[in-house]
Amino acid sequence: MDLTRPADLAAANGKTVLITGGASGLGEGMVRRFAKAGANVIVADLAGSKGEALVEELRKETENWNHHFIPCDVTSWAQQCALFTRALALSPSKRLHSVIANAGVGEVGDFLKPSPASDRQPPEPDLTTLDVNLKGVIFTTKLALHHFRAKSPGGEEEEDQHLLLIGSMASFADSPGVVSLYAASKHAVLALFRTLRLHPGNENKQVRFNIVCPYFVATPIIPTMGRVMLSGVELARAEDVVEAAARLVCDVRAKGKCLVVAPRGVGGILEMETASMKDVEAFTRRVVGALNAQGHMQTLARWSVDMVRIFGVKVVAVFGAVAAAVAWWWWCMVCKQRV
């Protein structure tokens, strides 16, 4: 793919795009981008008030009343079935041209936390992360394929239909134990994509499958402690993730493509060949190595800025004063010992 040119969103005009998890974060960015391009956007999310407010705003901005919000818990098969049925009914063409399985959460619970007593059975682990990030995506995929195969009203062939999965750099790279289930879910999403990309679809339809795998992005999915741990490290940009998604949705030549969204300092949007795990591992090492090298040069300045942004100037000032006092005390003790 030619990633040097901006994505051409003309193909989205008049098409119906269903986006799960579309009320906030990356999903909201995608919703806004496709609505601006003239698509009819169906927003599915648990956040009812946010989703309804977003749709009302977009209707006024675009003067298109074919944007809709449908509340949905993606971990429920019944609710996802109802979502697709309702979305098809609301679509002007009674078709879904593109489905983006974006709904996801970060690590919920502490899977690797040791049990308090070794002689007892451990408590059942919280599998919310797998339920949303994997089971929810599988449900969305199954329903999208089902409705893509269905004949359109009047029997005409559909020109292009597309399923986009959202993975992560955690789909490839080793991850710390604190995100073990999140990493497992994103590895599984990549595996699902790698099987779908070999799927021939339907002899009467052109069905495309693609995936976007972002590095850390400043969205609500990253908790405060996660932002603290990432302070000083350049993050990927949400607008680049949206750009990658738009490119894959609108380019009918994009089939079986994987776009990684890294920080701009190490390349930004990059295409990766997923056929060989050796290529994947080499690619991951290059990206991570570049991030580490860049991080060593910029960590201190960005860490300070991020701390101010997260905790405020006063808290950081107090922390700095305490650190300075401790450093001064240590230096005085060293000098006293030398005397």
Q: pLDDT tens for residues 57-85?
A: 999 999 999 999 999 999 999 999 999 99
Sorted by sequence, the CB contacts under 8 Å of residue 190 that are 6+ apart come out as 167, 171, 172, 211, 213, 258, 274
DSSP, collapsed to helix, strand or coil, labels residue 160 as: coil
Sorted by sequence, the CB contacts under 8 Å of residue 20 that are 6+ apart come out as 27, 44, 45, 72, 74, 100, 101, 102, 103, 136, 140
C-alpha to C-alpha distance for 186 and 189, rounded to whole angstroms? 5
Least confident of 27-31, 156-160, 244-248, 256-260: 156-160
Residue 184, token pair as written in the block: 């497992």
pLDDT at 295 > cutoff 90:
no
Categorize the per-residue pLDDT at 227 as very low, low, confident or very high, splitting at 50, 70 and 90.
low
> What is the model's pLDDT at position 162?
96
Q: Which domains, and CATH codes, for the chain?
A: 9-302 (3.40.50.720)
> What is the model's pLDDT at position 189?
98
pLDDT 10s digits, 81-120? 999 999 999 999 999 999 999 999 988 888 888 877 766 7
How many other C-beta atoms are found inside a 10 Å radius of the C-beta of residue 120?
8
The rounded Cα 160 to chain-centroid distance in angstroms is 24
How many other C-beta atoms are found inside a 10 Å radius of the C-beta of residue 123?
10
pLDDT 10s digits, 130-189? 999 999 999 999 999 999 977 555 555 557 899 999 999 889 887 776 788 999 999 999
In which residue are the tokens 């981008």 written?
A: 33
Categorize the per-residue pLDDT at 262 as very low, low, confident or very high, splitting at 50, 70 and 90.
confident
C-alpha to C-alpha distance for 209 and 197, rounded to whole angstroms? 6
In which residue are the tokens 């993975």 written?
A: 167
pLDDT at 226 > cutoff 80:
no
Residue 215: name the closest of 181, 175, 184, 178 by CA: 175
pLDDT at 333 > cutoff 90:
no
